[in-house]
Amino acid sequence: MDDLSVFAGSVSPLNIACVGEAMIELSFAGPGIENPRIAFGGDSMNTAIYLKREIGDVGQVSFVTRLGRDVFSRKMLDFMEAEAIATGNIVLDENKLPGLYSIMTDERGERTFSYWRDNSAARGLFQEKDAIDFSVLDGFDLVYYSAITLAILPVSVREAFLDWLAGRRAEKKLLVAFDSNYRPALWPGPAQARHWTERAWRCCDIALPSADDEKALFGDTDFSGTIRRLQGYGVGLGALKRGESGPLPLGLAGELPVFEPAEKIVDTTAAGDSFNGAFLGALLLGADMVKALERGHARARATVGFAGALGGRKW
């Protein structure tokens, strides 16, 4: 698969896998911790849901992770299935539980996260009876994942995963989309995060970086420097997310529109994830770069107007 043109107008349905961790989400309105709202989230799952909402019946979006057999895991599966996400590739581990995170937002909608995920079921991804196995990803046209996905994997699995992706791309059997979602607490240090993120950028067809993450991780001083660095890795297609300023294309595009900021910001959780889903979906449906950027930005503008990652839906 050389480019996205293989999908545009395709008779065959798209078959997409989003790989990562789904978690229990506790969100709090204001500084107190009374009456938390319980929902579900996680960057790759969020992207999967927004992507499915964008492409509708044109293709199947599967979420690939590991969960437990507890009530929260069961409710999480129900939640994804209600969003038309295929869950047949999710492994259930009777000895593990899903991770949990909390969100507290300030008066500007900026959020603070706390995580309980060190022993989550998702850390066992691609590990079956002491063997590393990626067969769960066979048959997909496109795989999406993030640096959070990489960070929760053991180093040996992380290494093998990137090698597997590179091999499938070399055989022209797979397209890969990647978001460098940088969470310092998940890495031993910034040097490790830079090493693995750079490797992922070099094994990527569609890049979905955020300017803030790239600056924090690589010390970029301006947007053009970030774009040049990514292009130096071989990245030729994607979008650099810049929050309310709107995205910049990583490949060729026509004249860019004016990207309006959100009218109201309640919670910035999943702004980037929703952009990813809508942008990817638009591209896969055959939109040009400018239209895909507009779709992604419009979805992100809407997402920051409500609390939580996915429109305030509860189970």
CA distance 283 to 295: 10
Apex CA 77: angle with CA 62 and CA 17, to 5°? 10
CB 219, CB 195: distance < 8 Å: no
Q: Of the residues 141, 205, 220, 273, which is catalytic?
A: 273
As to burial, measured by CB atoms within 10 angstroms (0-12 exposed, 13-18 middle, 19+ buried), residue 274 is buried
Task: Residue 214: name the closest of 202, 197, 200 by CA.
Answer: 197
Question: What is residue 117's DSSP assignment?
Answer: -
Order across the sheet with 59-64: list the strands: 59-64, 14-19, 142-146, 175-179, 206-207
179 a catalytic residue:
no
Task: Residue 80: name the closest of 103, 119, 50, 101 by CA.
Answer: 50
CB 227, CB 250: distance < 8 Å: yes
- Give catalytic residues, as residue numbers: 273
